[in-house]
């Protein structure tokens, strides 16, 4: 089966990689954009890095010029002037040029220190800024975004890719500045020294060498990505087959699997051979280019000496100008040697920048509306012709047009088969999603300048943090932070005192357990609260809600993951929590909804509300609820 597909007329592999030049330049554009975004926030360090890198390259290229001037002063004692590049200068003492050379060396050391410091500082700022940017955007993203991205991949990009981007700037950006400045100055010095023919040959040679190297590098990267794809396929397949070894053994298909994995490995072998071949070609090309440069220029100078009729000019050519050219060419050779690691770091940084942009560029559709109306008290919430389909599958309606009012102080429950849209109702109430059609109107007391008045507003328009501050949410999988009990429970109310937290824990029947621990409320719960049982986690969340004291309560299958005994205990705490509050329960068991004021039955496959009423009304009436009950789906 082919691993390729077409997107916008381009041939992509299954990982979305298009290795033509257009795609590469697109990724480079993202990389450069992120560099300059960071530069805006760290202007001083950025310009120090750029200017001192250029200064470092200029001083490094002028050092051999100063050295040749010292040699000229020694070989021409008593001369009134010396040729300094294209100018005649009166400084003829060799000791003066020695001091200038030593001063240049000191400047070179100082500038390299500043360059190294500024590069390290700027890279660190890039890494920190990109992480902050990613964290801010992730916090703002819609819930739907996290359903489409594996948390492990997000963490890899948050940690690994930000580091790769910072390292890429260190290795690529500054190397390119140094590389281009150094080569430009080398050509300029040769032109000013009368070696224009050498400068032209050097420029043409460098242009052709680098152009060919880049072409080979692009082809090498293509082959390398193909090999990575094949390796990923082999690794994934082997993991899958090992995890299903009992199926293979029970089917007697060991030989078939051996042949199949050998075929997959052969594909990987061929792809790996091609990648290694092109990598070797690139390395060899760079080595040959660098190795031929010096002998080529020595031959050019020897030919020039042979054609020179003036012996004194010929001696100056070999003793002064040729050593200068040799040093400058050596500088260029060193720059060429940096080309491979520079290109490789550029590719890593491009890929990292592209992956980071996939997290930071998407614009959230759910806005917090900080300037929207601020609600002080929720009285009721009404669904007015609300219809919903998930953004990724707009053709599949989850909830058809629904009209329902959640009145103050009453309890409601949604029941139905899997996929009927029960949890979708909870997500709409929490504004994880916006309705495809219709409005969710929130009626209550709103803050208006210095006064509070009774108003009704669309949920999409009001201040979201203020609204959610009045809503309590208990879900199937409790969300426990890494920290102690105080930190976890205080997340519902940051200004709560320790005494308030303890009172909330007593209401949730969690206090006695906490004080039985060695460190009590200061006990670190570990990642995702691994120290706690399922019931204790739910009690912690319930304590959080008690502390928050919300007007509106949403229970999304809060006890579905618990056994019957623990569920009974937790349900008792939930009943206390629901008392006096408007509550919406997403139910899977009869025990959680028997006493609610109204049960709403949702039909499968987007049928919406098919029944509603009290438990006594529904259980005594033929319909969907009674069928669910009799089929044991509500027990």
What mean pLDDT do residues 62-85 have?
76
What mean pLDDT do residues 84-91 have?
71
More confident residue, 57 or 301: 57
153 — pLDDT class (breaks 50, 70, 90): low
What fold characterizes domain 474-549? Rossmann fold (3.40.50)
More confident residue, 293 or 560: 293
What fold characterizes domain 20-360? ABC transporter transmembrane region fold (1.20.1560)
Q: What is the largest CA-CA distance in the chain?
A: 122
What mean pLDDT do residues 152-165 have?
74
Distance CA 383, CA 312 (A): 99
What mean pLDDT do residues 99-104 have?
90
Cβ proximity of 422 and 413 under 8 Å: no
Task: Please say if the pLDDT value at position 598 is more than 80.
Answer: yes
Q: How confident is the model over 568-594, as pLDDT tens digits?
A: 777 777 777 788 889 998 887 776 788
Q: How confident is the model over 238-290, as pLDDT tens digits?
A: 878 888 888 888 888 888 888 988 888 898 899 889 889 988 898 888 888 88
What mean pLDDT do residues 450-475 have?
88
Q: How confident is the model over 348-371, as pLDDT tens digits?
A: 777 777 777 777 777 777 878 888
Residues of 93-104 as b/e, b for ≥16 C-beta within 10 angstroms? ebeebbebbeeb
Res 563: pLDDT: 63
Distance CA 200, CA 205 (A): 8
Task: Please say if the pLDDT value at position 5 is more than 90.
Answer: no
CA atoms within 13 A on the CB side of 57: 24
Res 138: pLDDT: 81
Distance CA 191, CA 325 (A): 11
Task: Please say if the pLDDT value at position 83 is more than 90.
Answer: no
Distance CA 553, CA 343 (A): 56
List of residues 6+ apart from 423 with CB closer than 8 A: 556, 557, 586
Res 452: pLDDT: 77
Among 322, 329, 276, which Cα is nearest to 302's? 322
More confident residue, 373 or 144: 373
Res 7: pLDDT: 44
Judged by average pLDDT, the poorest of 44-48, 309-313, 552-556, 589-593 is: 309-313
Kindly list the domain boundaries of the chain, sorted by start residue: 20-360, 474-549
Average pLDDT, the chain: 81
Res 468: pLDDT: 92
**554 DSSP β-pair partners:** 473, 584
Res 32: pLDDT: 77
Distance CA 405, CA 382 (A): 4
Judged by average pLDDT, the poorest of 233-237, 406-410, 420-424 is: 233-237
Res 107: pLDDT: 92
- Give the strand pairing for 82-84 and 87-89: antiparallel
Task: Please say if the pLDDT value at position 479 is more than 60.
Answer: yes
Cβ proximity of 593 and 415 under 8 Å: yes
Give the percent of the chain with pLDDT over 90.
18
Res 27: pLDDT: 64
Taking CB atoms within 8 Å and a gap of at least 24, the contacts of 196-204 are 197/300, 198/297, 198/300, 198/325, 201/296, 201/297, 201/300, 202/297, 202/329, 202/332
Select the highest-mean-pLDDT range: 216-225, 509-518, 523-532. 509-518
Instruction: For residue 585, give the 3-state DSSP assignment.
Output: strand
Task: Please say if the pLDDT value at position 319 is more than 80.
Answer: no
Task: Please say if the pLDDT value at position 13 is more than 50.
Answer: no
Judged by average pLDDT, the poorest of 88-92, 416-420, 542-546 is: 88-92
- What crossing angle do the helices spanning 254-307 and 322-337 adopt, rounded to 10°? 170
23 — pLDDT class (breaks 50, 70, 90): very low
Res 20: pLDDT: 42
């Amino acid at each position: 089966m082919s691993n390729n597909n077409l997107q916008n007329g381009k041939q992509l592999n299954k990982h979305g990689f298009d290795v033509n030049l257009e795609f590469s330049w697109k990724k480079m554009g993202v990389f450069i954009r992120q560099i300059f975004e960071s530069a805006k926030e760290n202007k001083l360090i950025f310009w120090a890095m750029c200017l001192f890198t250029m200064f470092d390259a200029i001083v490094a290229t002028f050092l051999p010029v100063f050295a040749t001037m010292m040699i000229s002063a020694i070989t021409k004692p008593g001369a009134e002037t010396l040729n300094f590049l294209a100018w005649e200068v009166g400084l003829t003492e060799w000791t003066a040029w020695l001091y200038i050379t030593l001063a240049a060396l000191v400047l070179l050391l100082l500038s390299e220190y500043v360059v190294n410091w500024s590069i390290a500082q700027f890279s660190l700022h890039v890494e920190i800024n990109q992480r902050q940017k990613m964290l801010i955007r992730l916090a703002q993203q819609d819930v739907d975004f996290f359903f489409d991205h594996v948390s492990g991949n997000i963490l890899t990009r948050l940690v690994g890719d930000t580091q790769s981007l910072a390292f890429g700037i260190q290795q690529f950006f500054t190397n390119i500045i140094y590389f281009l400045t150094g080569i430009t100055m080398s050509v300029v010095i040769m032109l000013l020294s009368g070696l224009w023919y050498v400068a032209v040959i050097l420029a043409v040679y460098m242009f052709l060498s680098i152009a060919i190297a880049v072409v080979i590098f692009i082809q090498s990267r293509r082959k390398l990505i193909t090999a990575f794809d094949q390796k990923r396929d082999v690794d994934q397949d082997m993991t899958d087959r090992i995890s299903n070894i009992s199926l293979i053994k029970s089917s007697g298909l060991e030989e078939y699997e051996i042949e199949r994995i050998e075929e997959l490995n052969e594909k990987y072998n061929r792809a790996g051979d091609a990648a290694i071949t092109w990598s070797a070609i690139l390395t060899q090309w760079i080595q040959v280019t660098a190795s031929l440069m010096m002998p080529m220029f020595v031959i050019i100078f020897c030919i020039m000496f042979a054609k020179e009729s003036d012996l004194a000019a010929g001696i100056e050519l070999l003793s002064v100008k040729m050593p200068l050219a040799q040093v400058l060419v050596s500088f260029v050779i060193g720059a060429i040697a940096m080309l491979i690691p520079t290109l490789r770091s550029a590719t890593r940084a491009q890929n990292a920048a592209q992956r980071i942009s996939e997290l930071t560029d998407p614009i959230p559709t759910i806005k917090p509306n900080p300037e929207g109306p601020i609600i002080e008290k929720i009285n009721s919430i009404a669904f007015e012709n609300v219809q919903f389909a998930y953004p990724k599958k707009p053709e599949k309606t989850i909830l058809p047009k629904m009209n329902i009012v959640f009145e103050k102080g009453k309890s409601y429950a949604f029941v139905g088969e899997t996929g009927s849209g029960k949890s979708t109702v909870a997500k709409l109430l929490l504004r994880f999603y916006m309705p495809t059609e219709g409005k969710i109107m929130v009626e209550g007391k709103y803050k208006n300048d210095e006064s509070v008045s009774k108003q009704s507003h669309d949920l999409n328009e009001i201040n979201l943090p203020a609204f959610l501050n009045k809503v309590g949410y208990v879900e199937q999988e409790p969300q426990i932070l890494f920290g102690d009990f105080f930190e976890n429970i205080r997340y519902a109310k940051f200004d709560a005192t320790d005494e308030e937290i303890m009172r909330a824990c007593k209401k949730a029947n969690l206090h006695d357990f906490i004080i039985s621990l060695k460190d009590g409320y200061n006990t670190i719960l570990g990642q995702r609260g691994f120290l706690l049982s399922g019931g204790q986690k739910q009690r912690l969340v319930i304590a959080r809600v008690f502390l928050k004291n919300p007007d509106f309560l949403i229970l999304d299958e809060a006890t579905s993951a618990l056994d019957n005994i623990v569920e009974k205990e937790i349900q008792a705490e939930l009943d206390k929590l629901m008392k006096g509050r408007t509550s919406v329960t997403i139910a899977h068991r009869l025990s959680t909804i028997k006493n609610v004021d109204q049960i709403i039955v949702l039909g499968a496959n987007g049928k919406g509300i098919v029944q509603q009423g009290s438990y006594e009304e529904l259980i005594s009436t033929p319909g969907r609820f009674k069928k669910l009950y009799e089929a044991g789906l509500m027990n």
